Amino acid sequence: MLRLARDAYRYLAFRRGHFRGIYENFRQAEAAVPRGGKLGYNHADLAREYDAKVNLGLEASDYPVLFHLDRILRDDMTVLDFGGNIGVHFLRYRKHLNLERVRWVVCDVPEIAKVGRERCADIPNIAFVTDIVELQETQVDVFHASGSLQYLDEPTPDLLLKKLIGKGLRPGHILIDQVPLYDGPSFVTLQNGGLVYYPQHVFNRAAYINAITNFSYELVDAWIVKLESCIVPFHPNRAVHAYSGLYFSESRTS
């Protein structure tokens, strides 16, 4: 009874950061957005909120990413930061890593990329694009995605990798952070993001990892992100109590 009452409150209140519904695809989830609610990330007011409230302090899940980047990065490497917001990861990490000779390219939606260009206008080695087809780089050494891949309409990560590889930009290293993985069937749910609502994938762990290792990558490391969870009311068997981080490499370094 207590769980039922808690789920009823979560469902009816549908507060910021909460989830509602189990769907087969993004179209179904989008149809469930409350009347008058904005959908998706590409809104100027959302981008300005990110800029005004940007947090450049490290979060718990940043430390595994920093650890691996410290071992991976060399001068003249290129990092593709997919869903990198207004450049927040670069701005955080440069306090702890030497990024002066690393090319950092953020890929995000147009309104957020616009604000990112303004904030980072005086930093010569960071750039912003709104689609990977815009990439002018001849190499991508590290593909980094933190809290972003679950919001793509594409149901598996291999489709994005195919696009990169098709452009001749096969990354040597893949760092994925804050992604919802669990051992049940994949599904889509709807999240209240405050100013906006957005569909989100929740992935089957084994299928997600296999989709990447099938491209001849090796899973080198995995970690738990306890600050993130996905609890869908009335669906306890679909709960993700902690998100995941993953590091893949073409060949494991010593």
pLDDT tens digits for 60-86?
889 999 999 999 999 999 999 999 999
61 Cβ neighbours under 8 A, 6+ residues apart: 146, 177, 178, 223, 225, 227, 228, 243, 245
218-225 vs 196-204, strand pairing mode: unpaired
pLDDT of amino acid 61: 83
Instruction: Tell me, yes or no, whether 254 lies in a domain.
Output: no
Query: Is residue 254 very low, low, confident or very high in pLDDT (cuts 50, 70, 90)?
Result: very low
Task: Provide the 8-state DSSP code for 44.
Answer: H
pLDDT digits (tens, 9 = 90+) for 178-228: 999 999 999 999 999 999 999 999 999 999 999 999 999 999 999 999 999
> 225 in a domain, yes or no?
yes
Provide the token pair at 215: 């491209």
What is the share, in percent, of the chain residues with pLDDT greater than 70?
98
C-alpha span between 243 and 223 (Å, rounded): 9
- Identify the CATH number of the domain in which residue 59 sits: 3.40.50.150
Domain count, the chain: 1
Residue 202 lies in a domain: yes
Q: Which domain holds residue 176?
A: 2-249
Ranked by mean pLDDT, which of 20-29, 51-60, 244-253 comes out on top?
A: 20-29
pLDDT at residue 253, as a whole number: 46
Segment holding 63, helix H or strand E = helix 62-72
CB proximity list for 175: less than 8 A, separation 6 or greater: 65, 68, 69, 142, 143, 144, 145, 146, 245, 246, 247
